[in-house]
């Protein structure tokens, strides 16, 4: 088995690795590092969680060990799709470069230009950036990319999803093609990604680590399919199911990431959970950077127990011990299911991933079970669970603004939950949306729903690509506004094709059962 000491890394890098407690390189590290150290381009097909960050940071530190940074001309560049991922790469860099004198700057949105300008002016060895903010600095004349000898593109598939490919192409063109070494990482190779790599990589060493098409065996997956009694109360009834599941897990649920498909739902759910006495905080791209950082830090150090997240905000985040993942919404892209549940059960720890589904999710579940090549085992709702009386009435304003101490109104009828008569569930911490026994909770049969193929990346991206290209020439404030949340709050950059053709309100889209994917969190 390859050891780090076999990899011809700088001894100071080896010392830092030893301090971090890593003994053996992961497959992507063992595959990519030797080629990178030889100066070859690398095409790494690997997902987050495989150790891919170190597979480019370690050789970069070694290669940059000689030479000095010049003002406004960074020697290397790492592009990340989101601020959080960029910050995570910067942390990795600090860890592995601690015995060197290399300097770095992190260029992400939500942080003032002034401090970033100062760092660039002094000269940095490593520039870690999101594409939007990097181009903003470039356009302000503060940055020259002609000194970049190593360029890394991290999570290229997510860049594609977020419409950053035109920015990436432009950045490639601003760096010196003849002398640049490129390390390019993507979890999947969509045709558009293939095209970029053909255009900008020179005879790359292709390292593909086993695709995580099957979920880790340390993750216990469960599917809770419910039949909402009212379509307009579906979200409320899902929240009741979620709370009941959390409560039934008791002390086993030390912390959890709860995924929603829409930013608006992230906010609503976080507020609702807080109102019910849960220690929950939202994270998505409409929140300002300092708030997102505080929330993540709080979740990492245990002061926040429940992180309510959108896919983009949580993608690639390295949070070592998460006991549970809840899919409040079934993800509309099957691969997101794998990414989401992969937040738990890491590093050999046990984890649980619970998914709440309604009949509207059937086609997404079909795609997920197709990817997993197995059905998600069906879970049984906690004994005695039933929808509250309130959730079976037409929605009222009060439903979203829980009032304290409101008496619960039961139908007084017998529970028609699966399994027959059951005792009333134990009261929730703040019984606003009461959970009294009712009918309508059913488990779906184990047979997988018909498989729906994942939409072609290229087709899905076209409108976003146009959307991104156009504002790049727009005045900076306009572009920042779009990149940090889009023209319509809550819609984001991941605007599906149908919305670009004919815009409808989020409420109408939700009513029609359309997902509102999350935004890019760059800028
Ligand atoms: P990444 O895929 O870069 O997000 O890394 C996932 C996690 O693996 C991070 O917590 C890293 O610190 C950790 N890691 C990276 N390389 C190794 C290694 N060789 N041995 C053990 N853990 C590692």
In a mutational test of the pocket of ligand 1, which residue from 3, 51, 61, 322 has the highest number of ligand atoms less than 8 Å from its CB? 51
Residues 79-120 have pLDDT tens digits of: 999 988 999 999 999 999 999 999 999 999 888 899 899 999
Please check whether residue 153 lies inside any domain of the structure. Answer: yes
Number of domains in the chain: 3
Protein residue whose Cα sits closest to atom 13 of ligand 1? 51
Axis crossing angle, helix 131-139 with helix 113-122, rounded to the nearest 10: 70
318 Cβ below 6 A of ligand 1 = yes
Please check whether residue 459 lies inside any domain of the structure. Answer: no
54 Cβ below 6 A of ligand 1 = yes
In a mutational test of the pocket of ligand 1, which residue from 54, 58, 88 has the highest number of ligand atoms less than 8 Å from its CB? 54
Question: Angle at Cα 267 formed by Cα 107 and Cα 310, nearest 5°?
Answer: 55
Pair 243, 194 in one domain: no
| Cα 179 to ligand 1 centroid, rounded to whole Å | 30
* Banded model confidence at residue 216, pLDDT cuts 50, 70, 90: low
Q: Which atom of ligand 1 is nearest to the CA of 49?
A: 2
Pair 341, 224 in one domain: yes
CA neighbor of 328 nearest in space, from 402, 278, 293, 401: 278
Pair 38, 166 in one domain: yes
What's the CATH number where 121 sits? Answer: 3.40.50.300
Question: Which residues contact residue 499 at a Cβ distance below 8 angstroms, ignoring those fewer than 6 apart?
Answer: 491, 509
Q: What is the mean pLDDT of residues 365-370?
A: 93
Pair 122, 186 in one domain: yes
Protein residue whose Cα sits closest to atom 19 of ligand 1? 25
Please check whether residue 426 lies inside any domain of the structure. Answer: no
Alpha helices in 147-262 (DSSP H): 156-161, 165-174, 191-200, 234-249
In a mutational test of the pocket of ligand 1, which residue from 26, 61, 82, 87 has the highest number of ligand atoms less than 8 Å from its CB? 26
Protein residue whose Cα sits closest to atom 23 of ligand 1? 51
Please check whether residue 433 lies inside any domain of the structure. Answer: no
Please check whether residue 397 lies inside any domain of the structure. Answer: no
Choose one of 363, 383, 403: the last residue of a domain: 383
Choose one of 182, 208, 234: the last residue of a domain: 208
Average pLDDT, the chain: 77
Please check whether residue 456 lies inside any domain of the structure. Answer: no
Report the 10 Å Cβ neighbour count for 11. 10
In b/e form, how buried is each residue of 302-337, taking b as 16+ CB within 10 angstroms? eebbbbbbbbbbbbbbeeeebbbbbbbbbbbbbbbb
Pair 197, 291 in one domain: no
Domain that holds residue 322: 219-383
Pair 191, 243 in one domain: no
Alpha helices in 83-231 (DSSP H): 83-96, 113-122, 131-139, 156-161, 165-174, 191-200
Pair 366, 508 in one domain: no
Pair 263, 294 in one domain: yes
Pair 274, 311 in one domain: yes
Report pTM: 0.58
Please check whether residue 15 lies inside any domain of the structure. Answer: yes
Inform me whether the pLDDT recorded for 70 exceeds 90.
no
In a mutational test of the pocket of ligand 1, which residue from 3, 53, 91 has the highest number of ligand atoms less than 8 Å from its CB? 53
* Banded model confidence at residue 124, pLDDT cuts 50, 70, 90: very high
* Banded model confidence at residue 316, pLDDT cuts 50, 70, 90: low
Pair 224, 175 in one domain: no
Please check whether residue 441 lies inside any domain of the structure. Answer: no
Lowest-confidence pick of 37-46, 70-79, 421-430: 421-430
Pair 228, 157 in one domain: no
Lateral strand order in the sheet of 150-153? 104-107, 126-129, 76-79, 150-153, 181-186, 42-45, 205-208
Highest average pLDDT, of 18-22, 173-177, 425-429, 492-496, comes from 173-177
Pair 68, 191 in one domain: yes
What's the confidence (pLDDT) of residue 336?
Answer: 86
Choose one of 351, 383, 415: the last residue of a domain: 383
| Cα 441 to ligand 1 centroid, rounded to whole Å | 41
Lowest-confidence pick of 15-24, 240-249, 306-315, 389-398: 389-398
């Amino acid at each position: 088995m390859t050891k780090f000491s076999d990899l011809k890394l700088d001894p100071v890098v080896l010392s830092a690795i030893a301090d971090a407690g890593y003994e053996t390189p992961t497959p992507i590290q063992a595959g990519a590092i030797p080629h990178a150290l030889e100066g070859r381009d690398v095409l790494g097909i690997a997902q987050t969680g495989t150790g891919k960050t170190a597979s480019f940071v370690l050789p970069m530190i070694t290669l940059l060990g000689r030479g000095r940074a010049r003002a406004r001309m960074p020697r290397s560049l790492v592009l990340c799709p989101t601020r959080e991922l960029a910050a995570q790469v910067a942390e990795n860099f600090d860890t592995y470069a601690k015995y060197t004198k290399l300097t770095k700057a992190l260029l992400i949105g939500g942080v003032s230009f002034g401090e970033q300008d100062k760092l660039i002016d002094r000269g940095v060895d490593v520039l870690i950036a999101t594409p939007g903010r990097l181009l903003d600095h470039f356009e302000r004349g503060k940055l020259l990319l002609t000194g970049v000898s190593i360029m890394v593109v991290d999570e290229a598939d997510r860049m594609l999803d977020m419409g950053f490919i035109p920015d990436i192409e432009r950045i490639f063109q601003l760096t010196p093609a003849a002398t640049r070494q490129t390390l390019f990482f993507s979890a999947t190779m969509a045709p558009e990604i293939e095209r970029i790599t053909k255009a900008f990589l020179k005879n790359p060493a292709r390292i593909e680590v086993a695709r995580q098409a099957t979920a880790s065996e340390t993750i216990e997956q469960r599917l809770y399919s419910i039949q909402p009694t009212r379509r307009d109360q579906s979200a409320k009834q899902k929240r009741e199911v979620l709370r009941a599941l959390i409560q039934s897990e008791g002390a086993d649920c030390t912390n959890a990431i709860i995924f929603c498909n829409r930013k608006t739902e992230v906010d609503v759910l976080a507020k609702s959970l807080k109102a019910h006495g849960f220690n929950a905080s939202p994270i998505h791209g409409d929140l300002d950077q300092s708030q997102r950082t505080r929330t993540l830090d709080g979740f990492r150090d245990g002061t926040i127990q429940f992180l309510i997240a959108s896919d983009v905000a949580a993608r690639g985040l390295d949070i070592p011990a998460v006991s549970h993942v809840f899919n409040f919404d079934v993800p509309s892209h099957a691969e997101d299911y794998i990414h989401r549940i992969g937040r738990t059960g890491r590093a050999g720890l046990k984890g649980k991933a619970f998914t709440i589904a309604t009949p509207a999710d059937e086609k997404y579940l079909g795609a997920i079970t197709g990817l997993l090549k197995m059905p998600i085992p069906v879970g049984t709702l906690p004994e005695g669970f039933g929808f509250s009386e309130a959730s079976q009435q037409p929605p009222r304003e009060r439903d979203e603004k829980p009032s304290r101490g409101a008496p619960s109104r039961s139908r007084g009828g017998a529970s028609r939950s699966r399994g027959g008569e059951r005792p009333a569930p134990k009261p929730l911490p703040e019984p606003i949306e009461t959970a009294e026994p009712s009918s309508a909770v059913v488990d779906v049969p184990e047979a997988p729903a018909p498989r729906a193929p994942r939409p072609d990346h290229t087709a899905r991206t076209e409108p976003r690509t146009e959307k991104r290209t156009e504002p790049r020439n727009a005045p900076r404030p306009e572009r920042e506004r779009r990149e940090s949340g889009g023209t319509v709050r809550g819609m984001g950059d991941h605007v599906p094709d149908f919305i670009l053709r004919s815009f409808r309100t989020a409420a109408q889209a939700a009513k029609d059962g359309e997902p509102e994917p999350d935004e890019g969190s760059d800028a």
